[in-house]
Structures are given as structure tokens and as C-alpha cells.
Amino acid sequence: MTKPDGTGLNIVLATDHDADGCLEVKRWLREYNKDANPEWMTLLRDEQQSPAPLNLIARPIDESAGEFAAKVVGGLIATTQRHWLRIDIMAISPAHRRQGIGKKLLLQAESIATSRGCQHSFVDTMSHQSPDFYRRCGYTQVGELPDWDSNGGSKYFLIKKLADT
């Protein structure tokens, strides 16, 4: 039966009953990628190339005791993989913002990533979050998805070169 678009295709939203079909589509892509870029596919199967967590927590120093306080005032959640640092989340407690904590966390993450062999850093952030912070820290915008949140807010993709190859 030919559809109105003349293709003879029946395109439907997949359900649980279509799981085998979805697995087949994924298999086709893996086979294509293996033929097109075998080195990349070998790296993906290498457990030593799996993403390594790089999670940082910032705590203030308790001046009276000369040690770190238990209270967390900021953190950065990231991974390193091959030559890339990927920053997933960075947040600072509202009472401690604009005191340089974010910059210190970012610099520490970049330093650790460089010691792991990373040459680049990647982050995505929303227009209402921190794109200007990352730009001030040397990140370059390489992409934008306008109206990402369907409320006028854009999502930005930024990268930074950490080290020469």
C-alpha cells in the first residue's frame, strides 16, 4: 500500500513490541561506524578509554580549627575521556556565588584533566546559567540551540583548548 507521500513506507512511533527493530537499527550504525572508523570503535570497546569521573567539592576552611568545614559551598561534576574533559554540572551555593569559587573549581578540573592527557574541554550551558563565565575563562562558543527550553532560552556549546598536542 502506498502512503500519501508516495514512499510506500509505514513510519510509526516505536513501542515495546518494536525493541528488536530498534536493536537492529543500532547494530546497523555500529557496523557502519566500524567500517568507517575502526580505530574509534576499538577505543570505545577499550575499558581503559571509558569516561573517568572528575568530581570536585569545595569546602571553606574553618579558620578557628585550621581544617576544612563539613559544609559544601560548590562543586563540579565532570568526566575525562581520551583527550577531552566534559563538564556536566558546576554549581555554587547561592550564599557563596561571585567569590571566585567557580573559577577555582574550573581551573582545578582543567589541571587534573591535563594531567590525565586531556587537550580540550567541553561544556554546554543554558543562556540563564553561565555562558559568560565560561567565555571569561577562555571558552569559545561553537554552537547554539535557540529556544532550547521552548521559553526563549538558548543552549550554548563551548570548548577550550587545554594543551597542545
Predicted pLDDT of residue 14: 85
Q: Looking at the predicted structure, is the pLDDT value of residue 107 above 60?
A: yes
Higher pLDDT, residue 115 or 48: 115
What predicted TM-score, i.e. pTM, was given to this entire model? 0.77
pLDDT averaged over every residue in the chain: 87
Task: Tell me the three state secondary structure of residue 72.
Answer: coil
What pLDDT shows up at residue 49? 67
The per-residue pLDDT for 121 is 98
| Alpha helix stretches (DSSP H) within the chain | 19-36, 38-45, 101-115, 131-136
Q: Of 139, 143, 138, which Cα lies nearest the Cα of 156? A: 143
**DSSP, res 5:** T
Each residue's pLDDT tens digit, 54-103? 999 998 877 665 556 678 999 999 999 989 999 999 999 999 999 999 99
Determine the pLDDT at residue 6: 66
pLDDT of residue 35: 87
| pLDDT range class, residue 165, cuts 50, 70, 90 | low
Q: What is the pLDDT of residues 9-26, one digit of tens each?
A: 777 888 888 888 888 988
Mean per-residue pLDDT for 122-142? Answer: 95
CA-CA-CA-CA torsion for 45, 47, 48, 49, nearest 10 degrees? Answer: 50
Residue 126: pLDDT over 70 = yes
Class of domain 51-161: alpha beta
Mean pLDDT, rounded, for 101-122: 96
Residue ranges of the domains in the chain? 1-50, 51-161
